[in-house]
Structure 1
Amino acid sequence: MAFLEIRDLRKSFHSVDVLKGIDIAIEEGGFLVLVGPSGCGKSTLLNTIAGLESITSGEIHIAGRPVKDLHPSQRDIAMVFQSYALYPNMNVGENIAFGLEMRGVPKAEREAAVARVADMLQIQHLLKRRPGQLSGGQRQRVAMGRALVREPQVFLFDEPLSNLDAKLRVDMRTEIKKLHQSLGTTIVYVTHDQIEAMTLATQIAVLKDGILQQVGTPEQVYSNPANIFVADFMGSPTMNLIPASLQAVNGTASVQIGDFSLKIDQPSEALRAHNGRDIVFGVRPEDVTDVSSADRSARAIETVECGIDVVEPTGADKFVVTRMGAKEVTARVRPSERIAPGDKVPLAFNMDKVHFFDPQTEMRIS
């Protein structure tokens, strides 16, 4: 039985439907990341779990107990907000202990709990400081400490790293992952950053316009996107999504993209059913490479000559932009590869890793 279960959850504000039948279940100790563009409903969903927003219909269960009618204080959850929400007139130790004090926990127990959490987060030296004397990363640790000290059944994080600079965001992401591994507590985490989602989650739920697009492990969501939206949203650089047509004869098939033709090895029955029709051909940049970098374990590699329009060195990688049909296509090549704009070079397509989508329904065919 799932530890946190959301069943057919709907939320409306007057005539506007914000959440449209959400179904998600995660096991105890799971790390669920809710990801999607601004306005997709992920923060609203988090707030309904917390009890900060009522729901229009549906069910929320925590550890087998229905909680939709319970006050937030009765749900045994702790939340870390984007804004940290620290009390400026209290020092760090007092901020961490405040929730315990309000619940009537004896002073000795509070002090022991604060010391334990401060040691875990390595903020012992900050306990006497006020929030105004802390950096953004330090304030975030204090906000996390205030949640951790309660030892709740579920932690809720609402874009906790969005106010931090890029390097600190990476460092804090690592700290959150370490905390989850050591504590084993169930976490629900909201972000618009798909890199955060991929690195932190045991399960990712992708939302768009209040509709759940896909739930799965990071590998499932990245490697087997359910539709064009998920394929486009997850990954950086994004997946190449190229208008194409399919030609299937007997047991073979090929994708036609302008003057380019790519053979498909062992096309599925679902794909063969689209013979003669337009499709969307999807391939990630790492699966379009210079020939010497092609995956040696791949069953099918197709090589085509491509004219290079743009070269983007990033240090560890080099991305090149070419054009197939009417669409720009990004490939990832070795940093040492000598390629310049205007060159015509062979690029290798790993056909084991490509995807095909229906342009009308936008769902993945295979």
Structure 2
Amino acid sequence: MSFLKISNLRKSYGSLEILKDINLEIEQGGFLVLVGPSGCGKSTLLNTIAGLEPITSGDIAIDGRSVAGLHPSKRDIAMVFQSYALYPNMTVAGNIAFGMEIRGVPKDQRDKAIREVAEMLQIGHLLDRKPGQLSGGQRQRVAMGRALVRDPKLFLFDEPLSNLDAKLRVDMRTEIKRLHQRMKTTIVYVTHDQIEAMTLATKIAVLKDGVLQQFGTPAEIYNNPANIFVADFMGSPAMNLLKAKVEGDGGGLAVSLARPEAEPLRLVVDNAPQGLGAYRGREVIFGIRPEALTDPEGADHNARTIAQGDCLIEVVEPAGADTFAVTHLGGKEIVARLRADARIAAGQKARLAFNLDKACFFDPDSQRRIA
């Protein structure tokens, strides 16, 4: 049975509809990440789960019990905010213990809980300090500790790492992942960072303009995006999305990609999606991720369908472990991800390998993936 279930949820402010018929569910111990661009409704959705915002219609159930209309204090949740929200006049220990003290938890139990959480989060040496004496990462650990001592049914995180620098974000992401694996807690986590979403989640919900675009595991979202928006939003660098014409190839299919000052590049598509045949003679959007477009020596030798073609390389970007190459196909700039020692130079033609097992095809009008 689902531990958190959101059914037909709508949220409006007057005539302005913010959330539009959201349906989600996550099992106990799951890690649900709500991701999307600014203004997509993800923080509003988190606030409805917390009870900070009333819902317009639909239902939210936690552990089999509807909490729609229930006061936040009755929902058995704990929330970690982007702003830390620590009391500046209290010590770290005081901040962690404050909620327990308000609830009348005996001092010996409070002290034990503080010690356990401080050890878990590696902040035992900070318990006597004030928030103003802490770094951003340390403050976020204290905010997490204050939530953990509650031992709630559900943890809610609202962009907790967005105020940290890049390296600290990576470190804290690892800490949150480790914490979840150790405690088996159920977490709902809001972020605009799709790398955070991919690395932390057991399930991802991608939102745009208050509409749920896709809900699935990180692998499902990344490898089988439901539409062009998800394909473009998830992944860094983003998926290459270019115009292609579907043609017949004997009993099979091929796609033709325009090249500047050259004949179109024709790729035979074995194991094509069943629906692609209906587009014969028509244009589609051909999607391929940079790592599926590489030098022939670096191609996945376990792939069923590898097609090759010569492309004029315009820009080469060494990036340590990888080399990125920019070329033009299908009327737009695309990125290939090559091995670090790939022999390639700007201004020259190079043979690239297309792993068509990883290719996606989208309808240019509906923008939905062709299955």
TM-score of the superposed pair, with normalisation by structure 2 = 0.97
Which whole-Å CA distance do the structure 1 matches of 2:62 and 2:89 have between them?
A: 35
Letter in 1 for 2:352: L
Gaps of 5+ in 2: 259-263
Which whole-Å CA distance do the structure 2 matches of 1:162 and 1:21 have between them?
A: 28
Equivalent residues of 2:249, 2:268 under 8 A apart = no
Which whole-Å CA distance do the structure 1 matches of 2:146 and 2:322 have between them?
A: 40
Determine the structure 2 residue equivalent to 1:205: 205
1:248 positional shift: 2.8
1:155-174 aligned at under 5 Å gives the runs 155-174=155-174
1:1-366 aligned at under 5 Å gives the runs 1-248=1-248, 251-258=251-258, 259-366=264-371
Equivalent residues of 2:47, 2:53 under 8 A apart = yes
1:299 positional shift: 1.1
User: Secondary structure at 1:292's aligned position in 2?
Assistant: helix
1:250 positional shift: 5.6
Equivalent residues of 1:251, 1:267 under 8 A apart = no
User: Secondary structure at 1:241's aligned position in 2?
Assistant: strand
Please identify, of 334-343 and 83-92, the stretch whose mean Cα deviation from structure 2 is larger: 334-343
User: Secondary structure at 1:273's aligned position in 2?
Assistant: helix
Which whole-Å CA distance do the structure 2 matches of 1:365 and 1:168 have between them?
A: 40
Which whole-Å CA distance do the structure 2 matches of 1:112 and 1:316 have between them?
A: 46
User: Secondary structure at 1:113's aligned position in 2?
Assistant: helix
Which whole-Å CA distance do the structure 2 matches of 1:11 and 1:36 have between them?
A: 17
Any runs of at least 4 consecutive aligned residues in structure 1 with deviations exceeding 2 A, and if so which?
248-251, 266-269
Equivalent residues of 1:31, 1:200 under 8 A apart = yes
1:117 positional shift: 0.6
Percent identity between the aligned chains? Answer: 67
Letter in 2 for 1:178: R
Equivalent residues of 1:92, 1:131 under 8 A apart = yes
Residues paired across the two proteins, number: 366
Which whole-Å CA distance do the structure 2 matches of 1:95 and 1:266 have between them?
A: 58
1:249 positional shift: 5.0
Which whole-Å CA distance do the structure 1 matches of 2:249 and 2:153 have between them?
A: 56
Which whole-Å CA distance do the structure 2 matches of 1:23 and 1:53 have between them?
A: 17
User: Secondary structure at 2:225's aligned position in 1?
Assistant: coil
Which whole-Å CA distance do the structure 2 matches of 1:267 and 1:101 have between them?
A: 62
User: Secondary structure at 1:93's aligned position in 2?
Assistant: helix
Which whole-Å CA distance do the structure 1 matches of 2:303 and 2:249 have between them?
A: 23
Which whole-Å CA distance do the structure 1 matches of 2:370 and 2:18 have between them?
A: 29
Equivalent residues of 1:251, 1:266 under 8 A apart = no
